[in-house]
């Protein structure tokens, strides 16, 4: 058994930021980060558009950002959370800059501010079109310099350990030695990110399998608003791959138009904000257009944009398109909606506490009340930065007296030697992804949802049996988690009878 004061599961913006802050506060306490892939692999690393923060107090204001967030959330945001998160943005940005993150500036030497769907002003602070990579680099670099933080990469958290509704650690699989380690922790933070690979067709990297939410669910934590899946309107259309390259919404903020194959600028028919309507509305409109036309995709037209400025702001998008034969100065970019973000998740209060004692959640796996029924673009990195700070402040004021005095934790016991057939996990995952895409997509209906619910129950019985009788491995653990997440989304979609934001049921 390994003792640690703070166990952090996940090394995206949420986990790393908290780790760094608590490590600075308590140089003599031990902080362990378990992360299932390379330390920098995360949704964070792929964030393109940037962080929504009010830095221009002349054109913009907190009140405008708050209003945009509330409008996007379609009546389901917690207003006090929205106000708290948005007004703390500038402090969190200052910290990121102090840690070495670089953000683009304009000729006047002030921050260059991008615009995205649902924003009434330019307020998105960015590092070209690779903001997440820059943030991840800067914070990870700080974390790796801390002597009291141990980063365990390729360590897959399998389950939380709880006693009397209190989290006392986790079982973590060392994917290199195949050994299950038992961690005893005073406090555990879930920072495990999103769920994209439940759908397969997603902008998320393969690590996004909803593990933290599923573990929290098994530990009986409260999980809500799972029906609010955000589909990004402009994932690059490429029938040959699952994980889709994102064409940032900031490209539309820069002036690009959405067009049908015939050239119609259809968004003007759906919303007065046109191409910069909020994401839920743009994705739903594209879905309708594709149903009407029978086409496979719509198009993003950048041909009228100033090329030099485009390349400066979006070098990665420009090169990615170029490498697959799309010259954005001449050709329209084919795009379709793809799963992108989960608005709901593990319910936390304003200090990041879950309904299980000593268990905290932060970032995309949490449900804070900021996003309501649909997240405003670029509010996610901001939410993770603000909540990791809130959790840090809470825990800085609530240190455990002595870890040695806590109750001993039962080591993992397993006598299973049979390996699971990898074909079973791979095929079941594909079947599950297809089910979610067909029955739990942008527009849902109760008939399909009930059928999906039935199928998911069968998957659940089967996977529990496989888990009981086979040696634990990460693919099996992920598959079990994906099935749990699918069930939560389907059940909560069946329960919701009112269309809001990203949720539409006919």
Q: Which stretch binds ligand FAD (CB under 6 A): 19-27, 186-194, 264-272, 395-403?
A: 186-194
> Tell me, what DSSP letter sits at residue 396?
H
Residue 34 found at the interface with ligand FAD (CB under 6 A): yes
- Which residues partner with 339 through β-bridges? 202, 231
Residue 131 found at the interface with ligand FAD (CB under 6 A): yes
**In 76-228, which residue ranges form alpha helices assigned H by DSSP?**
79-98, 131-144, 211-218
Total of residues contacting ligand FAD (CB under 6 A): 43
Tokens of residue 187, six digits: 């406090």
Residue 248 found at the interface with ligand SIN (CB under 6 A): yes
The Cα–Cα gap between 410 and 433 comes to 35
The Cα–Cα gap between 293 and 381 comes to 36
Residue 250 found at the interface with ligand SIN (CB under 6 A): yes
> Tell me, what DSSP letter sits at residue 123?
-
Q: Which stretch binds ligand FAD (CB under 6 A): 97-105, 190-198, 271-279, 314-322?
A: 190-198
Q: How big is the chain by its Cα radius of gyration, in Å? A: 22
CB 94 within 8 A of CB 117: no
Per-residue x/- marks for ligand SIN, 162-191, CB under 6 A?
A: ------------------------------
Residue 354 found at the interface with ligand SIN (CB under 6 A): no
Residue 339 found at the interface with ligand SIN (CB under 6 A): no
Residue 114 found at the interface with ligand FAD (CB under 6 A): no
Residue 360 found at the interface with ligand FAD (CB under 6 A): no
Residue 204 found at the interface with ligand FAD (CB under 6 A): yes
CB 178 within 8 A of CB 199: no
Q: Which stretch binds ligand FAD (CB under 6 A): 33-41, 87-95, 279-287, 436-444?
A: 33-41
- Residue 414 contacts by C-beta under 8 Å, 6 or more apart in sequence? 180, 471, 472
Residue 14 found at the interface with ligand SIN (CB under 6 A): no
Tokens of residue 186, six digits: 């005073």
Looking only at residues 36 through 65 of this chain, which bind ligand SIN when binding is defined by CB under 6 A?
48-49
Q: Which residues are catalytic?
A: 279
In the complex, minimum distance from the CB of residue 156 to ligand FAD, in angstroms, rounded to a whole number: 5
- Residue of 267, 377, 452, 474 that binds ligand SIN (CB under 6 A): 377
The Cα–Cα gap between 269 and 290 comes to 15
Looking only at residues 245 through 264 of this chain, which bind ligand FAD when binding is defined by CB under 6 A?
246
In the complex, minimum distance from the CB of residue 51 to ligand SIN, in angstroms, rounded to a whole number: 9
User: 3-class SS at 166?
Assistant: strand
CA distances from 269 to 155, 202, 260, 369 (A): 49, 27, 12, 31
**In 170-276, which residue ranges form alpha helices assigned H by DSSP?**
211-218, 249-253
Residue 384 found at the interface with ligand FAD (CB under 6 A): yes
- The binding site for ligand SIN (CB under 6 A) comprises 48-49, 248-250, 341, 377-378, 380
């Amino acid at each position: 058994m390994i003792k640690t004061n703070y166990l952090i599961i996940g090394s995206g913006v949420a986990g790393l930021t908290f780790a760094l802050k608590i490590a600075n506060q308590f140089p003599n306490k031990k902080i362990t980060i378990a992360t299932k892939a390379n330390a920098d692999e995360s949704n964070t690393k792929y964030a393109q558009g940037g962080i929504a923060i009010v830095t221009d107090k002349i054109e913009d204001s907190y009140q405008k950002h708050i209003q945009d967030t509330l409008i996007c959330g379609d009546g389901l945001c917690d207003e006090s959370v929205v106000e708290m998160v948005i007004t703390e943005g500038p402090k969190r940005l200052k910290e990121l800059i102090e840690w070495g993150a670089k953000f683009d500036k304009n000729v006047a030497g002030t921050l260059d501010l991008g615009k995205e769907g649902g924003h009434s002003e330019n307020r998105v602070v960015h590092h070209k079109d690779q903001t997440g990579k820059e943030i991840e680099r800067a914070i990870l670099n700080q974390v790796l310099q801390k002597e009291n933080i141990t980063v365990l990469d390729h360590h897959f958290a399998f389950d939380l350990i709880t006693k009397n509704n209190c989290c006392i650690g986790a079982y973590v699989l060392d994917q290199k030695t195949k050994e299950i380690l038992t961690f005893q922790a005073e406090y555990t933070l879930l920072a495990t990110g999103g769920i994209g690979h439940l759908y397969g067709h997603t902008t998320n990297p393969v690590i996004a399998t909803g593990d933290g939410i599923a573990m929290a669910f098994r530990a009986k934590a409260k999980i809500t608003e799972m029906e609010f899946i955000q589909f990004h309107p402009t994932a690059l259309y490429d029938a040959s791959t699952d994980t889709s390259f994102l064409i940032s919404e900031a490209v539309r903020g820069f002036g690009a138009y959405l067009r049908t194959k015939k050239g119609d600028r259809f968004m003007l028919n759906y919303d007065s904000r046109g191409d910069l309507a909020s994401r839920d509305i743009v994705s739903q409109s594209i879905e309708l257009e594709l149903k009407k036309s029978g086409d496979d995709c719509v198009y993003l037209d950048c041909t009228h944009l100033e090329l030099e400025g485009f390349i400066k702001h979006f070098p990665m998008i420009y090169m990615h398109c170029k490498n697959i034969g799309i010259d954005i100065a001449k050709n329209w970019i084919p795009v379709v909606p793809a799963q992108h973000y989960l608005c709901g998740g593990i319910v936390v209060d304003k200090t990041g506490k879950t309904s299980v004692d000593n268990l905290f959640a932060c970032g995309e796996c949490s449900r804070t009340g900021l996003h309501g029924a649909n997240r405003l673009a670029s509010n996610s990195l901001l939410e993770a930065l603000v909540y990791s700070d809130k959790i840090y402040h809470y825990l800085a004021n609530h240190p455990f007296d002595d870890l040695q005095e806590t109750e001993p934790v039962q080591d993992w016991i397993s006598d299973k030697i049979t390996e699971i057939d990898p074909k079973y996990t791979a095929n079941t995952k594909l079947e599950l992804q297809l089910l979610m895409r067909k029955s739990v997509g942008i527009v849902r209906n109760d008939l399909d949802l009930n059928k999906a619910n039935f199928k998911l129950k069968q998957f659940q019985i089967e996977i529990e049996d496989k888990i009981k009788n086979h040696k634990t491995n990460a693919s099996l653990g992920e598959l079990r988690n994906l099935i749990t997440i699918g069930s939560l989304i389907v059940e909560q979609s069946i329960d919701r009878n009112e269309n809001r934001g990203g949720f539409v049921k006919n």
